[in-house]
Homo-oligomer: A and B are copies of this chain.
Amino acid sequence: MARVRSPEKRSAILQAAVHEIAELGLGAPTAMIAKRAGVAAGTLFTYFASKEQLLNEVYLELKVEVYARINADFPHKGSLECRARHTWSNSLDWAIEFPEKRKASVQLNVSDLITPETRARTATERGTIDRTLDELGTRGALRGLPGGFPAAAMSAMQEATMEFIAKQPKQRKELMERGFQVFWRAVR
């Protein structure tokens, strides 16, 4: 048997990609990503067929990661507000904890390099969360709005909140809660 493809290396490349994208944008050279991952330039292409594919996988990994965190101790039996707050806090926590990941995620989000297929593949992981958020869509203020709107609204409000937490990290706790309250008033 030959040397076996190492998940660590693959992971290192993805991580390096996140870092470089956060720093240099989507134009970050694959050579630089490889270097930071501690592998040769050519090695990157044994793990990812092309830069575009690498970017798609980075996108996927980041999405999966947030959703995994939210799902981890999700209060399935909690009230709607409780579940919404859980989602709100956990994804914000992630974004604050890993600013590079968040930055890369944002860049990838607005890019046309991410294929519809890739975007679709995140649906699986989003299941639980979407169900909660969609429940919002059947009540109160959001009744009648298209499916997905609550999720989009939350994501949007988080974006806004995050910006301010980034500027005033000390008030993180408070801003996070106030942000949620604003959101909750809007949608409940």
Which residues from chain A sit less than 8 Å from chain B, CB to CB? 2, 25-27, 40, 42, 106-107, 110-113, 141-142, 144-146, 148-149, 152-153, 155-157, 159-160, 163-164, 167-168, 175, 178, 181-183, 185-187
- Is the pair A164, B141 in contact by a Cβ cutoff of 8 Å? no
**A141 touches which of B26, B144, B148, B181 (Cβ 8 Å):** B181
- Is the pair B182, A164 in contact by a Cβ cutoff of 8 Å? no
**A175 touches which of B106, B145, B178 (Cβ 8 Å):** B145
- Is the pair B182, A153 in contact by a Cβ cutoff of 8 Å? yes
- Is the pair A111, B25 in contact by a Cβ cutoff of 8 Å? yes
Q: How far is the CB of A120 from chain B (nearest CB, A)?
A: 14
**A152 touches which of B40, B113, B160, B178 (Cβ 8 Å):** B160
Given contact pairs A149-B160, A149-B164, A155-B160, enumerate 7 new A-B contacts (beta carbons under 8 Å): A141-B181, A142-B182, A145-B175, A152-B163, A156-B160, A182-B186, A182-B187
- Is the pair A146, B164 in contact by a Cβ cutoff of 8 Å? yes
Return chain B residues, CB-CB under 8 Å to A148. Answer: 164
Return chain B residues, CB-CB under 8 Å to A175. Answer: 145-146
**A156 touches which of B2, B107, B156, B187 (Cβ 8 Å):** B156
- Is the pair B40, A2 in contact by a Cβ cutoff of 8 Å? yes
